[in-house]
Amino acid sequence: MLRCSTSPWSADLADLAAEIGRVGPFAERFHLDVADGHYVPAMLFFPDLVRALRKHTAVPFEVHLMTVDPLAWVEPFIDAGADSVTFRHDSAPEPGRVIEAIKARGKGVDISLLITEPIERLEPYWDGLDLATIVATAMGIEGASMDASIPDNIRSARATIAARGLATEVEVDGGIRRQTVPLFAEAGAAASCISSVWVPSPCPARPRAGSRRGRSPGWPR
């Protein structure tokens, strides 16, 4: 079973504080997608909004930077209350500098890979990662279906992590459905980012089928 990193992308954006309070008791983390309208054709979340939401829950915030300049946003979002920062590998000319900036603030580090990017892209950075996220759908499109290559990508990442003797975990972002959760878990993923199948539910516990509570030492608190 997988841990849940819950995205409020599908929440009632006019009443986010209440939505965070409603879903918080069922979430291990909140996954906050930051989109700048350039890297992906959407605009979501910003530091002042994260700061405002931080007052309403003690659940850790996992900020996912879908921006053209992730390094520029590390400090603002950590100052706003991020517990970990995810950034896109292909958005950073020097991923190592982004990792160093996050580590310098004592926060969790995660790099996410597109469907088309091989796991080997992470080769220089594994030792600095708490989490590796595999994006399972087209980037920035809410409700898209899982790409068929994703379970094998997860297995490849897990094999590399095991060979290096690391504690890095694998998270899947996108394509989370009742029928895909067992596939991700069997392949070795530790966590899933849940959005459209979670927040709209009148009973937040129901979409947890196939997932479980419980935080890992690999996830900063």
In a domain, 171, yes or no: yes
In a domain, 221, yes or no: no
**Which residue range(s) make up the domain with 161?**
2-212
* Cβ neighbours for 8, distance < 8 A, ≥ 6 positions apart: 16, 19, 20, 23, 30, 32, 195, 199
**Cβ of 25: how many Cβ atoms within 10 Å?**
11
Fill in the amino acid letter for 73: W
* Cβ neighbours for 47, distance < 8 A, ≥ 6 positions apart: 73, 76, 77, 79, 80
pLDDT by position in tens, the chain (length 221): 678 888 888 888 899 999 999 888 888 899 999 999 999 888 999 999 999 999 999 999 999 999 999 999 999 999 999 999 999 999 999 999 999 999 999 999 999 999 889 999 999 999 999 999 998 876 655 556 788 889 999 999 999 999 999 999 999 988 888 888 899 999 999 998 876 655 555 444 444 434 444 343 344 43
In a domain, 116, yes or no: yes
Show the beta-strand stretches assigned E in 75-189.
84-88, 108-113, 131-135, 169-173
Catalytic residue among 36, 83, 130, 173: 173
In a domain, 79, yes or no: yes
Q: What is the CATH number of the domain that holds 177?
A: 3.20.20.70
28/19 Cα distance (integer angstroms): 15
Helix 70-80 crosses helix 47-54 at what angle (to 10 degrees)? 20
* Cβ neighbours for 93, distance < 8 A, ≥ 6 positions apart: none
pTM listed for this prediction? 0.86
In a domain, 48, yes or no: yes
What total of structural domains would you count in the chain?
1
In a domain, 219, yes or no: no
In a domain, 197, yes or no: yes
Q: What is the pLDDT of residue 144?
A: 65
Structure tokens at 61: 């915030």
**Cβ of 168: how many Cβ atoms within 10 Å?**
23
Catalytic residue among 12, 15, 33, 83: 33
173 is catalytic: yes
In a domain, 220, yes or no: no
33 is catalytic: yes
